[in-house]
Amino acid sequence: MRQNMNVVFIMTDQQRADSIGEDRHPCANYPNMEQLRRESVSFNRFYTAGLPCVPSRHAFLTGRQPWKVGVSGNRKFSTEGETTWMQLLRENGYRSVSVGKTHMIHAGSFHIQVPVGKSFGNQEGWDHFHPTASPESEENYYDIHIARRACETLDRLSDSEPFALFVGFHAPHEPYVMPEKYLDFCKPDDVPLPVNCHIDEYKTKSKAYRRRVDHFNNMFGDITDEMVRKGIASHYSMLKMVDDCVGILMDKLIEKNLLEHTLIVFASDHGELHGEHGIFNKGATQYESEIRLPFMIRFPDGRHAGKSVEALASSIDYAPTLFDIMGLSPDVSFPGHSLVPSIEDGSTVREYVTIADGDGAMGIRTNKHKLWYNSNFSDGEMYDLEKDPMEMDNLYPLPEYQALRSELFELMLHARLMDDHRDNQWTERERRLHDEIKSSYEPEIV
């Protein structure tokens, strides 16, 4: 692959994997994202390495695990010392620009801040149940403004030198305040209720789960079926706006004759529960709808268009995959794996993925099982994903599954140690520094 091709990375916030593709939710109808998927290779089992937003974006942009960059949930940001893939491209002659929502990860790129203005009125996050029209004008609504600024950036970058552009949208993250024309895109009466939800879960699930249920009940009272339908409908209405923004970007790339010279990557930072297990949002647990992401790569020459990959993949795999595709060998170490073998012939590059929030919780997902543990509560949840894909039967506390629990804990420890080991491999710069130190003849330097 040519080293001088452009890179456009589009990231949404809180978009479920089942919003795109053949098995998409019945309310999901997004022609621009579906067209991009038909032109791309898509990963059906792609997982975030970190929850929630900030750890996930750090993992995507640095290629490192949240615990290595010191990110704890959404409360702590790492703003100094990161090496991002955009910075590494800049060192290889690229102009790197980020537009919109990045959650403070600007290392290696010039960041274009887009003002929120009156986009969300007086609402803040968490509220899934009161969709309303934005008081902001449509063209200056936050996400639409981001798309417009990204297109203006493409106008100024589209010459002979390569560029990398990160475009970060806020939607479909709550609050569900949006331009009025999107409010009725998905109607609550058309929304099916989630099937993986039962009142007995409160008794059998983890303390972290019960704490999230209690939190929502304290905020909104009992979550009724009407509220669930309204929350899901509002989410998919917001996502329609994102789809239109993707169309605006793709039209600009076509207008500037950039598609044949640009690698396009599309992903979300994490998913959304949508009333499954009786809760909304993300981060307190690690159910599939939270941690599995839409992820696709469109090659400039049309290779692998429409191909689906079933191999497990993690967001820390994106950076090494990017440089493998581009034929670049930056002088850094990554814990992740290149997904090029999975893209080329479906090869398996990993037997598990890990998920951490940097705030005391970590999980591991294999092809058959999932375990997560929260150190703040000294308990967790465990599932047999072959027998129980809806994650209804928590095996963690059951005596007859203690051997499996121990096996997965050991694998999770192994995974963390191996990732740290891969992250600490010598770079050429460090090898040369070691040679300089050896020249001093200090004792114990070998």
pLDDT (tens digit per residue) in 159-173: 879 999 999 999 999
Q: Considering only CA atoms, which of 335, 346, 358, 261 is closest in space to residue 309? A: 346
Mean of pLDDT over the chain = 93
404 vs 72: which has the higher pLDDT:
404
3-state secondary structure of 79: coil
Asked whether residue 16 is assigned to any structural domain, the reply reads yes
Cis peptide before 192 (omega within 30 of 0): no
pLDDT of residue 396: 98
The residues, ordered by sequence, that sit 6+ positions from 424 with a Cβ below 8 Å of its Cβ are 333
Average pLDDT over residues 314-320: 97
> Does some domain include residue 436?
no
Note the pLDDT tens digit of each residue in 196-207: 999 899 999 999
Dist. CA 101–CA 150, nearest whole Å: 12
CATH number of the domain that residue 263 is part of: 3.40.720.10
The tokens 């997902």 sit on which residue? 365
Q: Residue 390: inside a domain, yes or no?
A: no
User: Is 12 strand, coil or helix?
Assistant: strand
Predicted local distance difference test score (pLDDT) of residue 1: 45
Dihedral of CA atoms 264, 320, 78, 282 in degrees, nearest 10, equals: 70
Of 360, 413, 408, residue with least CA distance to 383: 408
pLDDT per position as a tens digit, 401-417: 999 999 999 999 999 99
Among residues 293, 292, 315, the alpha carbon closest in space to that of 63 is found at 315
Distance in angstroms (rounded) separating the CA atoms of residues 291 and 286: 6
Give the count of domains, the chain: 1
176 falls in which pLDDT band (50, 70, 90)?
very high
Classify residue 303: in a domain, yes or no: yes
Q: Please, what is the end-to-end C-alpha distance for the chain in angstroms? A: 39
Q: Does position 274 have pLDDT exceeding 60, yes or no?
A: yes
pLDDT band at 70 (very low <50, low <70, confident <90, very high): confident
Q: Does residue 355 lie within any of the structural domains?
A: no
401 lies in some domain: no
Q: Give every CB contact of residue 29 below 8 A, 6+ residues apart in sequence.
A: 240
**Pick from 50-64, 72-86, 220-234: least confident:** 72-86
160 — phi, psi (to 5°)?
-75, -25
Q: For residue range 355-373, list pLDDT tens digits in order.
A: 998 778 999 999 999 999 9
pLDDT digits (tens, 9 = 90+) for 116-146: 999 999 887 778 999 999 999 999 999 999 9
Spatial CA neighbour of 7 closest among 104, 69, 92: 92
Domain that holds residue 74: 6-344
**pLDDT score of 97 more than 80:** yes
In the structure encoding, which two tokens stand for residue 61, read together? 């942009």
DSSP 265-298: EEEES----TTGGG--SSSSS--HHHHEE-EEEE
pTM: 0.95
In a 3-state reduction of DSSP, which class is residue 370? strand
Q: Is the pLDDT of residue 104 over 50?
A: yes
For residue 65, tell me if it sits in a domain. Answer: yes
Please list, in sequence order, all residues whose beta carbon lies within 8 angstroms of the beta carbon of residue 292, skipping any fewer than 6 positions away: 16, 17, 45, 46, 47, 271
35 falls within a domain: yes
